Structure 1
């Protein structure tokens, strides 16, 4: 590794605004993976991201004349916050161009530091193009988020800290990759001191800028990138970053959205903090690597690069985390349309927790249900359960890896029913525990046909079920007495206008 980069990193001026973040051993994940897993906590920086280091190091080295003119940056959020805070400390005027898709939490943070903001385009590349136009028009100095030696050196101080905090060389360091500034800086320092340490980049499957470049042996501009991990949604790795990466990066691991969501949950379980998708990339890649290599007893370090996540995105993260960890299976199953068929189906599932149950009456012969089942044994258990249903004569389709089913179909099961009589709609609430749904159906009995059923485990203390059931007028008293003996809180929703409009009995 060229000596000038080591000198730049050693001389980098980052600690005027940045802090030396902890390198924490995360015990739960370490025990699960049978390796010593450490998390470099860049989410604990003042702007909740490592980007402050490179931005400040670049700006502190600007000439007085360039500082007076002001600076401009293009960023999906974290670099923008770094530039804005650095500008505030150095009393420099800053203009930030951000994609329109940038999470609101990052936009607000940049404004709070006093920078001016322009929202342009739906990706970093479009924001970058607009920033170049504005830089020329207003004679501003552009602060690149990754393709700049001073920025790379600022990020490289993380590598310097890691070796201070972990005196013996680790087996591997896993680093999120967008434009490549972080992995170039850390890799340059680590490889100079300990060439045997593996530097492993991690990218989303839908934004593999460095992976594609290394494979093609040249920089490649991707046609499009996914924006779930918005902090690394970059179509082309930086020129200088790629030059360094070719020398210091051992490999790049690709992970999918479900694996990223599972990694966010892993970090939360160990630290009680919430990483942004780009910040959790390294943990997702580390887990992927351990599973692939079967390594044990190794010291593995993951960089948690940031924690700037919109609160409303957590709903999606929670939904997908179980799939990423292979802790939930989704099946479409055909069962007979007759009283007691739900109960027999749940008895086959046993004491496993049902995470979701969607059904609406279609015809008098067969019922199609969409069910989620909690797993403890991963894919092997899912395959075994699938085979059990088949052996019992059920027609079943595994939807666990079906993106359309996970994103859309699960929420669309239902609609109006035709040819159904005497339907009542009842909403239930009962304590959530393994086997709760089986207990509910067992004590409800088989006297009446269930014509609509919706249940989703939301992780709360109480489960919620919406059930349509065919009860002739003469049997309504017996039905209500049965409900009372169940001792579950319930509400009669038969006259609810939402039911009438979207799920009630069709007049046709």
Structure 2
């Protein structure tokens, strides 16, 4: 496998330079380790997906198959990598996207592919879009370019590992490699390349809590299709791990797959933006967010490589990301208050707030009784330890309240 991957890596240089492997001083100091970031957010399409697409196209064209149309179904990074490669090889491609795809993603895909691609918006959900793409391929004798479940795609993603091996300081071998998991193409490729170099326990896989397809499948012993997924981490929200990918990963232990709360990922995104000026998409922040889930003593003085898988982030999502990050950090909470309907009641409540407590949301909901009213209030603070003290003051004052911060149904509906 190594020889083929290294050939693919050399061929890929005609498309883009190797992405940097950077020692991150901030994270290294934070965890007492040597933390390297493999910056796949710096490819021409800001994700590693371009690698698998390029390798797939390269092999088909080398075998004389360039006369057919290439097809993919994707609403994200795979579509953009596919489009870029179509333009590079000057071959026609059709991208199927759900009708619900944000215009920004449609525009970026069109920009990368130019005259060589056609975009078709079909279906409200990805499954409908994918089915339409498959039908098109069969009717037009085209090539379906899968996002992860294909040997050539896996080989292309494995070039990430070939670059890491070349870019690490001489004599340095990583103690830990942290990989984000969606469909499993990147993880299958990287672990396969390092098979003879690193121990199996040197790998940690990161999935969002809302899409644990790899962890569930390993724990079960066979591929499991999740009944539903949380699409917030859209680059890794996959209901079913790829068949070839699972075959390559099923021997790992289930405890090597860590599940990351979506709000924890948001906290990492905000930290990297504010401290490092690095823009990451939710899936791109998965590997870095995982560091907080690991035993600090197990990290100390170790050499750790985190694959930063992408940076295609729509800044219209930033308020939601910041909101989730603050809630996860314990710096923002939401309450339903039951206040007496009398003059001075609101003033009495405000006097309960501490000097660092700030009202971020205040909304009168309804008059639930003649003598009492309900209020939705959001409170931000600088120190999470302020909230236990604030709630104690609420209790002492006999104030009726309910903390709805972690109530997902109410939070999605009201907040």
Which TM class, normalised by the smaller chain length? 0.7 to 0.9
Shift of 1:36: 4.3
Q: Which residue of 2 aligns with 1:88?
A: 87
Change (3 A) 1:357 1:98: closer
CA contact (8 A) 2:218 2:252 kept: no
Determine helix, strand or coil for the equivalent of 1:213: helix
Kindly tell me the number of residue pairs found equivalent between the two proteins: 404
Q: 164, 167, 172: which is aligned to 2:166?
A: 164
Determine helix, strand or coil for the equivalent of 1:82: helix
CA contact (8 A) 1:14 1:54 kept: no
Report matched runs for 1:59-458 at 5 Å.
59-62=57-60, 63-112=62-111, 113-114=113-114, 115-167=117-169, 168-195=172-199, 198-247=202-251, 251-290=256-295, 295-360=299-364, 362=367, 365-378=371-384, 381-410=386-415
CA contact (8 A) 1:146 1:152 kept: yes
Distance 2:336 2:162 in 1: 52
Change (3 A) 1:169 1:61: same
Determine helix, strand or coil for the equivalent of 1:400: coil
Change (3 A) 1:328 1:48: same
Structure 1: gaps (5+ residues)? 411-508
Distance 2:146 2:220 in 1: 25
Shift of 1:100: 2.9
Q: Which residue of 2 aligns with 1:424?
A: none
Tell which has more relative contact order, 1 or 2 (C-alpha 8 A, sep 6+).
2
C-alpha RMSD over aligned residues: 2.6
Distance 1:253 1:111 in 2: 35
Shift of 1:33: 4.5
Shift of 1:297: 4.4
Distance 1:282 1:185 in 2: 16
| Deviation string, structure 1 residues 458-501 (Cα, Å, up to 9, x no partner) | xxxxxxxxxxxxxxxxxxxxxxxxxxxxxxxxxxxxxxxxxxxx
Structure 2: gaps (5+ residues)? none
Determine helix, strand or coil for the equivalent of 2:67: helix
| Deviation string, structure 1 residues 97-129 (Cα, Å, up to 9, x no partner) | 223343332221221213111223344433322
CA contact (8 A) 1:77 1:103 kept: no
Q: Which residue of 2 aligns with 1:499?
A: none
CA contact (8 A) 1:74 1:127 kept: yes
Change (3 A) 1:187 1:388: farther
Change (3 A) 1:90 1:375: same
Q: Which residue of 2 aligns with 1:10?
A: 6
Moved over 6 A (4+): none
CA contact (8 A) 1:171 1:197 kept: no
Distance 1:186 1:104 in 2: 33
Change (3 A) 1:93 1:402: same
CA contact (8 A) 2:137 2:143 kept: yes
CA contact (8 A) 1:357 1:369 kept: no
Determine helix, strand or coil for the equivalent of 2:239: coil
Change (3 A) 1:381 1:297: farther
Shift of 1:338: 3.7
Distance 2:69 2:92 in 1: 5
Determine helix, strand or coil for the equivalent of 1:133: helix
Distance 1:331 1:30 in 2: 38
Change (3 A) 1:18 1:382: farther
CA contact (8 A) 1:33 1:296 kept: yes
Q: State which drifts further: 48-57 or 386-395.
A: 386-395
Shift of 1:96: 1.4
